[in-house]
């Protein structure tokens, strides 16, 4: 009886703090529109839900795509809805959260990864805390609004997310500005072409967020621009997939699953080969695994190591790097740096690649070719290298064999 009275008291306390005018329910996530708007399904009915008390940047604003990515990672399948009101656009405004078992990690969430401390209970709070939303002043009368404004002040002090900029523009002012620019534009076709080409340049450089933001500008000028729609969607998907693999890779590392970390982070690099953090963490995984590198003639486990060789001038030797862990288990092809030793013609590949070729030009030279991974760890204050090497290579003239 005493426990029952305590539970009733707690429910009354919560209801007094945050009052909910509509029923609470669990729903299936159908679509993430942007950082603060989602479409859910319950009882075979789709409902558009606006996260209460906040306003995220528009998708073509700085941090708009990051806000959408954050909420997409948070609500992958189901979401708990605590309804508050119906707004002027006939949307349900609500506090949202993901229900999971405490003490048992049932899924990988963004805040379970380094850099996301103090996990938020409500998605509304999380977006504010990470600097991905404003506490929206319009019609925010519930008691939680005070908390949201407090979280915004803290995020601003820490310069998180959009608060890294000195004067970020709130989305309600951004919309007014964009409408004004659209009205005043005298050469929309020229601007569309310039924007599209600029976005394409960013896309080819793996700057997916920048590309998507600029394609969004194209769509503001021409809502039916099919190429811009397609590329905008592709850029968003690539960014989301890239960051998902990256987060899963870090999560694998947290559980000492170094091979899993390599696999996920390598998938991240397949999407964006310039992702420096992914490369850095892959190197850490290789070091933890105790990787043994072999230089071989084919990119597979049964390949032959490159032993002592006599090469003719202008004869091409193709080399591949493959890895094995401490127990001798095959890992797969490895991207390494390449260099030559001795008097061999210079091989100096500074970008990590899984294979390279050597074509000697100078007679009478000899030495080896190495594939290596350098590790420079701040704590250890020293550089460590994992090296795989060929046998001795000697360069002769074709006439020697005649």
The pLDDT tens digits for 181-223 are 665 555 567 788 888 999 999 999 999 999 999 999 888 888 8
pTM of the full structure = 0.44
Which fold does the domain 185-286 belong to in CATH?
1.25.40
pLDDT confidence tier of residue 57, bands split at 50, 70 and 90: very high
What phi and psi values does residue 167 have, to the nearest 5 degrees? -135, 75
Burial 41-50 (b: 16+ CB within 10 A, else e): eeeeeebbbb
Domain 16-168 has CATH 2.60.40.420: no
Q: Domain residue spans in the chain? A: 16-168, 185-286, 290-401
Contact partners, residue 307, CB within 8 Å, separation at least 6: 390, 391
Domains 16-168 and 185-286 share a fold: no
Give kind and range of the element (H or E) at residue 327: none
Of 121, 72, 97, 116, give the one whose Cα is nearest residue 244: 72
The pLDDT tens digits for 287-321 are 787 888 999 999 999 999 999 999 998 899 999 99
CA–CA distances in Å: residue 69 to residues 191, 204, 243, 296:
28, 21, 9, 41
pLDDT of residue 311: 92
What's the residue count for the chain?
402
pLDDT of residue 234: 93
Which fold does the domain 290-401 belong to in CATH?
Immunoglobulin-like (2.60.40)
Of 5, 58, 4, give the one whose Cα is nearest residue 34: 58
pLDDT confidence tier of residue 73, bands split at 50, 70 and 90: confident
Q: In what order do the strands lie in the sheet with 336-340?
A: 348-353, 336-340, 369-377, 382-389
What phi and psi values does residue 37 have, to the nearest 5 degrees? -135, 125
């Amino acid at each position: 009886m005493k426990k029952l009275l305590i539970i009733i008291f707690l429910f009354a306390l919560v209801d007094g703090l945050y009052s909910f005018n509509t029923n609470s329910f669990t729903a299936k996530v159908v679509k993430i529109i942007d950082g603060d708007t989602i479409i859910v399904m319950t009882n075979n009915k789709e409902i558009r839900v606006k996260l209460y008390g906040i306003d995220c940047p528009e998708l073509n604003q700085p941090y708009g795509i990051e806000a959408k990515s954050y909420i997409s990672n948070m609500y992958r399948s189901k979401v708990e809805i605590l309804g508050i009101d119906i707004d002027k656009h006939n949307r349900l405004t609500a506090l949202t959260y993901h229900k999971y078992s405490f003490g048992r990690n049932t899924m990988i969430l963004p805040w379970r990864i380094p850099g996301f401390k103090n996990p938020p209970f409500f998605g509304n709070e999380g977006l504010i805390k990470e600097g991905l939303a404003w506490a929206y002043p319009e019609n925010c009368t519930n008691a939680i609004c005070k908390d949201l404004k407090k979280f915004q002040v803290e995020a601003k002090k820490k310069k998180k997310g959009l608060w890294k900029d000195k004067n970020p523009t709130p989305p309600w002012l951004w919309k007014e500005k964009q409408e004004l620019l659209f009205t005043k534009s005298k050469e929309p076709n020229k601007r569309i072409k310039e924007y599209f080409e600029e976005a394409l340049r960013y896309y080819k450089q793996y700057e997916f967020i920048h590309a998507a933001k600029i394609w969004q500008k194209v769509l503001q000028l021409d809502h039916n621009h099919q190429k811009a729609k397609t590329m905008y969607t592709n850029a968003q998907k690539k960014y989301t997939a890239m960051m998902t693999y990256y987060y899963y890779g870090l999560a694998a590392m947290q559980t000492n699953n170094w091979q899993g970390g390599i696999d996920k982070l390598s998938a991240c690099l397949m999407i964006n080969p310039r992702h420096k953090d992914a490369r850095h963490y892959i190197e850490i995984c290789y070091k933890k695994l105790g990787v043994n590198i072999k230089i071989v003639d084919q990119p597979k486990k049964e390949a032959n190591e490159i032993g002592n060789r006599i090469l003719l001038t202008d004869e091409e030797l193709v080399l591949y790097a493959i890895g094995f862990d401490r127990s001798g288990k095959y890992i797969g092809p490895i991207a390494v740096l390449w260099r030559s030793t001795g008097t061999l013609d210079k091989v100096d590949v500074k970008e990590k690649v899984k294979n390279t070729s050597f074509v000697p030009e100078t007679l009478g030279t000899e030495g080896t070719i190495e594939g290596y991974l350098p590790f420079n760890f701040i704590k250890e204050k020293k550089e460590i290298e994992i090296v795989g090497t060929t046998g001795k290579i000697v360069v002769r003239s074709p006439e020697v064999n005649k």
